[in-house]
């Protein structure tokens, strides 16, 4: 009798270990970023209000994306859902999409605290390999339901990625001196062209608010977010909101979760510097014309 009980206990432990090993899930996220206003940014007088409105509508639609997160206990792949490219989204708009949080495969390994992303920028393939940023999360008691899951609030301050143009914020002119405001007025009037930097700036840090569910006890989330006692179902950084719309746990068909391998291996810092350098070179080649990052050019 004792042998039977021992056998059953061992089988139960084995089954639980195997279930943890085979655990896998999929989460669908809808990402929306507040589109920048082109008013005052475009120095070209040939651009009519109708053209400006059309550009803003295209930008808004381009900044609405759907992502799929496939995950197990320690690794995940976050990738934009493939869809047909719409007319007018070639060239510069496609480049902009990549710099606005789209494109590429984002692989995270929370056990080894590392990530790998394949990026294409101006015709070149890069493989960004680096350590996951460790955020000092502040756990709060506030809760809300997302898709039937009870989620808890957490906040953190993170360094803004210099190659992610979603992080650009309108400059706060309230603290400027009268003479500085007068100079800005001159820049946006007459024949003087307006540079993107005159209206926007990249902050050093941004505050993010996360909502995570301990009911799905994995240390994962969209993009490079991680480090909470539950799957992150929503992230907001003031400009971009990423919200989970669907969760499937332990589907019959398993997904292979492994890092991408194509591209020149580069650190995040070096990739950021490469993007900034190339964007600066392009602006100089085009006479410093306005239009914001990245340029809306054709290939």
Query: DSSP characters for 227-262?
Result: -SSSEEEEEE-SSEEEEEEEEEES-SS---------
Please give the helix or strand (H or E) that residue 69 lies within, else none.
Answer: strand 64-71
Which of 201, 128, 121 has the alpha carbon at shortest distance from 167?
201
Per-residue pLDDT, 63: 79
Q: pTM for this one? A: 0.75
Per-residue pLDDT, 94: 52
Per-residue pLDDT, 12: 36
Per-residue pLDDT, 64: 87
Which of 196, 189, 142, 163 has the alpha carbon at shortest distance from 271?
163
Per-residue pLDDT, 85: 59
Which of 261, 246, 260, 257 has the alpha carbon at shortest distance from 73?
257
Enumerate residues 6+ apart whose C-beta is below 8 A from 250: 22, 23, 24, 25
Q: What is the mean pLDDT of each run of 10 residues along the chain (299 residues)?
A: 43 38 90 70 62 71 89 96 61 52 83 94 90 95 96 94 70 54 49 52 86 96 96 94 96 91 94 86 64 41
Per-residue pLDDT, 297: 33
d(CA 182, CA 29): 44
d(CA 166, CA 202): 9
User: Could you give the dihedral angle defined by the CA atoms of residues 78, 81, 85 and 89, in that order, rounded to the nearest 10 degrees?
Assistant: -40
């Amino acid at each position: 009798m004792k042998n039977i009980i021992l056998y059953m206990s061992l089988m139960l432990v084995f089954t639980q270990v195997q279930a943890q090993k085979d655990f896998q899930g999929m989460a669908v996220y809808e990402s929306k970023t507040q589109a920048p206003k082109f008013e005052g940014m475009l120095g070209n007088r040939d651009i009519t209000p109708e053209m400006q409105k059309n550009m803003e509508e295209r930008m808004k639609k381009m900044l609405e994306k759907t992502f799929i997160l496939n995950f197990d206990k320690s690794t995940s792949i976050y990738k934009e859902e493939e869809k047909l490219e719409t007319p007018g989204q070639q060239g510069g708009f496609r480049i902009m999409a990549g710099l606005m949080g789209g494109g590429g495969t984002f692989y995270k390994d929370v056990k080894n605290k590392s990530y790998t992303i394949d990026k294409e920028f101006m015709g070149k393939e890069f493989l960004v390999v680096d350590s996951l940023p460790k955020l000092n999360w502040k756990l709060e008691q506030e809760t809300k339901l997302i898709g039937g899951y009870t989620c808890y609030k957490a906040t953190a301050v993170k360094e803004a990625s210099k190659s992610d143009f979603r992080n650009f914020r309108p400059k706060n002119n309230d603290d400027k001196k009268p003479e500085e405001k007068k100079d800005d007025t001159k820049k946006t009037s007459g024949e003087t062209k307006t540079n993107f930097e005159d209206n926007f700036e990249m902050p050093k840090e941004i505050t993010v608010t996360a909502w995570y569910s301990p009911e799905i006890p994995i240390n994962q989330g969209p993009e490079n977010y991680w480090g909470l006692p539950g799957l992150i179902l929503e992230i907001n950084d003031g400009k971009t909101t990423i919200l989970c719309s669907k969760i499937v746990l332990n589907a019959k068909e398993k997904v292979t979760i492994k890092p991408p391998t194509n591209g020149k291996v580069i650190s995040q810092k070096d990739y950021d510097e490469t993007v900034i350098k190339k964007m600066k070179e392009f602006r100089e080649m085009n006479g410093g014309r306005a239009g914001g990052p990245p340029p809306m050019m054709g290939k």
